[in-house]
Amino acid sequence: MANMTAPDTLADGVKADSRGAVRVTTQDTGKLEKPEALETIVRIENFNLFYGKHHALKNINLDIPKNRVTALIGPSGCGKSTLLRSINRMNDLIDGISYQGSIYLGGNDIYAPDQDVIALRKHCGMVFQKTNPFPKSIFENVIYPNRISGERNRRKLAEIVERCLKRTALWDEVSHRLHDNATALSGGQQQRLCIARGIANEPDVLLMDEPCSALDPIATAKIEELILDLRENYTVVIVTHNMQQAARVADYTAFMYLGEIVEFGATSEMFLKPRLKQTEDYITGRFG
């Protein structure tokens, strides 16, 4: 890892929105601090997840603030993706998982027995590490979530496509070939298309699992710009290995280690003066 502290960008990324810590859980105390002023959209309470016998998430408590970008960082295998996927219950697809605790999305317990998983996922957009556009036209890719919800009105669909592609800064590049196959796009374009697909349904949260790890710096910069932009309307949870990226885009950062949230707080605070040695070591690249 290169130098973690990038003061300029950090200042830029944080200044505008850093309104203080929301709620902080620390490993040793488990003490919670009351969030300030900000509405919580996803509340994770005492959440545990097991892959068979493997305890992958250990007693996670986390409040994700609305209309902010929250980053999950931590060494590989610490459970970031697992936590992210717990929020839209994508882990359900894996055989042999079990969990305890609850996660609330907008006050609604998504692990309640009567929870409609499909309805839940419609409220969460998701963007994956590996770009995965469907081998359909660009148009069809964007409106896929709307199509499966039964939207038929072509005018409406066209509006959605335009809006989402504009939001993801892809409109100018692809507006003249909306009916070409999406797989013909470049990697960065494909990822932005996936983001457009992720927001086509107006989700409450947008979950992004290392969205830039396969992209070059320019494409990465575009996506980061996009994330900052999306913050106005969406709540973004992003998993990243790139500290600078976390510093640049995230308002809040959670540091995970071995299935636990070690530290959570405003990005500026965490990066400038982490409370725990462990966090500092990780951020500065001394371990992990």
Nearer to another protein by Cβ, of 10 and 124: the residue is 124
Q: 10 Å Cβ neighbour count for 230? A: 22
Site for another protein in 79-108 (CB under 8 A): 88, 90, 93, 95
Q: Tokens for 194, please give them.
A: 């996936």
Q: Does 51 bind ligand ATP (CB under 6 A)?
A: yes
Q: Does 240 bind Mg ion (CB under 5 A)?
A: no
> What's the min distance (Å) between Cβ of 142 and ligand ATP?
27
* Candidate residues 22, 56, 126, 283; the one interacting with another protein per rule CB under 8 A: 126
CA distance 101 to 8: 40
CA distance 27 to 200: 37
Which of another protein, ligand ATP, Mg ion, none interacts with 54 (beta carbon under 5 to 8 A by kind)? ligand ATP
CA distance 262 to 221: 28
Which of another protein, Mg ion, ligand ATP, none interacts with 88 (beta carbon under 5 to 8 A by kind)? another protein
CA distance 189 to 181: 12
Total residues binding another protein (CB under 8 A): 30
Strand ranges (E), the chain? 40-51, 54-65, 69-73, 97-105, 108-109, 124-127, 205-209, 235-239, 252-257, 260-266
Nearer to Mg ion by Cβ, of 81 and 189: the residue is 81
Give the rounded distance of the alpha carbon of 41 from its chain centre. 13
Residue in the structure block whose two tokens are 């810590």 = 21
CB of 279 within 8 A of CB of 262?
A: yes
> What's the min distance (Å) between Cβ of 84 and ligand ATP?
8
* Candidate residues 16, 32, 112, 148; the one interacting with another protein per rule CB under 8 A: 148
Q: Does 245 bind Mg ion (CB under 5 A)?
A: no
> What's the min distance (Å) between Cβ of 187 and another protein?
10
Look at residues 223, 227, 255, 205 and name the one whose alpha carbon lies nearest to residue 80.
255
Site for Mg ion in 70-89 (CB under 5 A): 81
- The DSSP string of 28-52 is TT----PPPSPPEEEEEEEEEEEET
Site for ligand ATP in 65-104 (CB under 6 A): 76-82, 94
**Residues near 155 by beta carbon (within 8 Å), at least 6 away in sequence:** none
> What's the min distance (Å) between Cβ of 51 and ligand ATP?
3
Q: Does 220 bind Mg ion (CB under 5 A)?
A: no
Nearer to ligand ATP by Cβ, of 139 and 257: the residue is 257
Angle at alpha carbon of residue 119, lines to 167 and 85, rounded to 5°: 70
Which of another protein, Mg ion, ligand ATP, none interacts with 90 (beta carbon under 5 to 8 A by kind)? another protein
> What's the min distance (Å) between Cβ of 283 and Mg ion?
18
Q: How far apart are the first and last CA of the chain?
A: 9
- State the residues that interact with Mg ion by CB under 5 A: 81
- State the residues that interact with ligand ATP by CB under 6 A: 51, 54, 56, 76-82, 94
